[in-house]
Amino acid sequence: MNDILTKSVKSARKPKGDGHLRRAEILGAAERIFVAEGYEGATIRKIADEVGVSSTCLYMHFRDKDQILLEICTAAMEELLAIHTEISARPIDAVERVRMMLSAYVDFALRHPNAYRLVFCSSPLAASVQKQRVTLELGDQCYHRFSGAVREIAGQGRLKTGDPRTVQQALWAACHGLVAFLITKPRFDWAEPNEISRVMIEGLLFGLIAD
């Protein structure tokens, strides 16, 4: 009987495949499990079972679950930074750059809801300053790109109210709030997310910035 069970388990395991594809598969499975079960519930065994590999195979790609979580969060922040860097370099009006970065932030979060929750919504990385440092630095760079455009608008005397720091934080908080609602309350009868985002961003910019 034990031999039969052993053979059954082994048959469920996936054959060895391309390392890059297997690594991506592990990250995708881990991302889902971290969100669904939290840091403590996301064990190496659960992640391996979700992928259909042995724990030994998983350890060939990642040292521990902290490394998996850090790679998920780092990859997400690097993508967001690349988007903001590209937009901030465009030779266009600063208001348009702010509009595009806010819209890109919301789009990014909705395309990667699990990674967004892990990075921005009570990330388990917060318990480790050393492991959180990388994502904090990337986040600071993203914010610097965004805040630079807001300061440019302020330098042109176009802010209707508040100072640059207050306006930056108000805009960021508004987008985070919208994204958090859309991601964590999927059963609510939301209007089309991109349209909600557009209306909110246009309303904020109209109220804060003079043409």
Residue 209's SS3 state is strand
Distance of CA 129 to the CA centre of its chain: 19
pLDDT tens digits, one per residue of 132-185 = 777 788 889 999 999 999 999 999 999 999 999 999 999 999 999 999 999 999
Residue 127 gets which letter from DSSP?
G
Helix (H) or strand (E) holding 44: helix 44-51
* Per-residue pLDDT of the chain in tens (211 residues, 90 and over written 9): 444 434 334 334 455 545 567 889 999 999 899 888 888 888 999 999 999 988 888 989 998 888 888 888 888 899 999 999 999 999 999 999 999 999 999 999 999 998 888 888 765 555 556 567 777 888 899 999 999 999 999 999 999 999 999 999 999 999 999 999 999 999 999 999 999 999 999 999 999 999 7
Residue 185 pLDDT:
93
- Its pTM stands at 0.81
- For the beta carbon of residue 28, count every other beta carbon within 10 angstroms: 14
Cα–Cα distance for residue pair 91/29, rounded to 1 Å? 40
Cα–Cα distance for residue pair 110/89, rounded to 1 Å? 24
Under 8 Å CB-to-CB from 74, ≥6 apart: which residues? Answer: 134, 135, 138
Residue 159's SS3 state is strand
- Residue showing tokens 């819209």: 103
Residue 126 pLDDT:
52
Residue 101 pLDDT:
97
Residue 191's SS3 state is coil
- Cβ-contact 22, 60 below 8 angstroms: no
Residue 127 pLDDT:
53
- Domains along the chain with CATH numbers: 2-62 (1.10.10.60), 66-208 (1.10.357.10)
